Chains A and B, each alone.
Chain A
Amino acid sequence: MKISWLPTLAGAAVIGTVIRAVFFTPLEARQGAAQKIFYIHVPAAWVAFLAFFLVAIASGVYLWLRDPRLDRFAESSAEVGVVFTTVVLITGPLWAKPIWGTFWAWWDVRLVSTLFLWFIYVSYIVLRGAIESPELRARYSAVLGILGALLIPFIHLSVYLFATMHPMPIVGKPSAPSLPIEMLITLMLSLVSFTLLYFAFVRARYNYAAERDAAAARTDHDA
């Protein structure tokens, strides 16, 4: 049996990161164990943004070159992005409840705009399933993929622009990060390991899409 190095490396990195986060990273004195949700919530948000940004790039280049491999990559990255956004939308409220006293607040712009982002890319997947012609499907979904990604800078900047329960950035800010070094190392490891997991997922999903398209082409040829 052939073992692929990328999923193996990504899986080992994620397991190692979780072990470090759970057993070897200190508890935060005010929040207790709930603060450790940070190490899966923040990387999931980072990967979701990366995934949708790459959907927009691949979609833009697809509209220029009309290469089906770019459409396949965009399709794969969008689906993986939806998975990571789902994790963001579940782990966020589970962290919010003990700290903010509520699972959800409709007036919080970052929460609601992240939910919108999730809906846009779920609709991207639904749109792809609803159009039979591969060229039309690729073109329409490329436009939606680009438009959806316009929400990403808005979500990132929402903590500066609106009243929100989310804190200001504590790591990605002009001055030095205000995290103890043990927590900062765990966060950096989690960002790297979940990014590796993203690439492993996208590669596997892309290979599936390529095999599916090849099978469909064979069926059309035989018919």
Chain B
Amino acid sequence: MLPRGMRQPRGLTTMPETSAYFHAAYTIALGIYAAYALSIYLRRKRVQAK
């Protein structure tokens, strides 16, 4: 169901269901950034312990 006043694009009857791709992309991207931040933190800790 489209919000009031929004026109239905020609040829489409419903908005396509693509949320699985959206969830996968956000989870993987944010996971990569978090893992990288953790890797820098752990490498610094290891060097500081020397």
Contact = CB atoms under 8 A, between A and B. Distances in A.
Interface of A: 7, 14, 18, 22, 26-27, 29-34, 36-37, 40-41, 44, 80, 83, 86-87, 90-91, 94-95, 97-99, 197, 201, 204-205, 207-208, 211-212, 215
Interface string B24-44: 111011101100110011011
Interface of B: 2-3, 6-9, 12, 15-19, 21-26, 28-30, 32-33, 36-37, 40-41, 43-44, 47-48, 50
B8 to A, nearest CB: 7
A197 to B, nearest CB: 7
Contacts, number: 94
Nearest to B10: A30
A97 B21 contact: yes
B40 A87 contact: no
Pairs A-B, 7 closest by C-beta atoms: A34-B18, A33-B22, A33-B19, A98-B18, A94-B25, A32-B18, A91-B25
Contact of A83 (B21, B26, B32): B32
Contacts of B9: 29-30
Nearest to A82: B36
Given A27-B15, A98-B16, A212 B47 contact: yes
